[in-house]
Amino acid sequence: MLARQADEFDGHRRERYPLLRLSAGQSALDAGCGLGEVARALAGLVAPTGRVVGVDSSGEMVAAARAATASSPAAVDYRIGDLRRLDFADESFDAVYSERVFQHLESPTLALAELIRVTRPGGRVMVVDTDHSANPFAIGHDSDAADRVLRDYTLEVNRSPRVGSQLFRYFIDAGLSDVEVHVAASVLSSFIFGWEFFDAAVRRAVDSGRLTARRARAFREQMKQDEDRREFFGYGLHFTVVGTRPFVDGSLVPLSSSRDRARSGPDATPMRAAGDCASDHAP
More confident residue, 94 or 223: 94
Burial class (CB in 10 A: 0-12, 13-18, 19+), 21: middle
More confident residue, 157 or 166: 166
Band of the pLDDT at 198, cuts 50, 70, 90? confident
pLDDT for residue 142: 58
Is 38 in contact with 96 (CB distance < 8 Å)? no
Question: Would you say residue 257 has pLDDT above 60?
Answer: no
pLDDT for residue 262: 36
**Could you tell me the residue ranges of all domains in the chain?**
2-279
pLDDT for residue 4: 46
Pick the CATH number of 2-279 from 3.30.300.30, 3.40.50.1820, 3.40.50.150, 3.40.1440.10: 3.40.50.150
For the chain, percent of residues with pLDDT exceeding 90: 47
Q: Among positive and negative, which fits the CA dihedral 87, 97, 114, 81? A: negative
Q: What is the mean pLDDT of residues 168-173?
A: 97
For the chain, percent of residues with pLDDT exceeding 70: 79
The pLDDT tens digits of the residues spanning 136-163 come to: 665 555 556 666 777 777 777 778 888 9
The pLDDT tens digits of the residues spanning 219-231 come to: 878 878 887 888 7
Is 280 in contact with 5 (CB distance < 8 Å)? yes
Separation between Cα atoms, residue 93 and residue 108, nearest integer Å: 20
pLDDT for residue 73: 78
Question: Would you say residue 91 has pLDDT above 90?
Answer: yes
pLDDT for residue 265: 35
Q: What is the mean pLDDT of the chain?
A: 81
pLDDT for residue 275: 43
The pLDDT tens digits of the residues spanning 37-72 come to: 999 999 999 999 999 999 999 999 999 999 988 877
Q: Which of 17-21, 92-96, 162-166, 220-224 has the lowest mean pLDDT?
A: 220-224
Helix (H, G, I), strand (E, B) or coil at 180: strand
Question: Would you say residue 183 has pLDDT above 90?
Answer: yes
Residue 129, by phi and psi: left (phi above 0), alpha (psi -120 to 50) or beta?
beta
Question: Would you say residue 7 has pLDDT above 50?
Answer: yes
Reported pTM: 0.79
Q: What is the mean pLDDT of residues 241-254?
A: 76
Band of the pLDDT at 122, cuts 50, 70, 90? very high
Question: Would you say residue 120 has pLDDT above 70?
Answer: yes
Query: Which residues, including other chains, have CB under 8 Å from residue 59's CB and lie 6 or more apart?
Result: 80
pLDDT for residue 114: 97
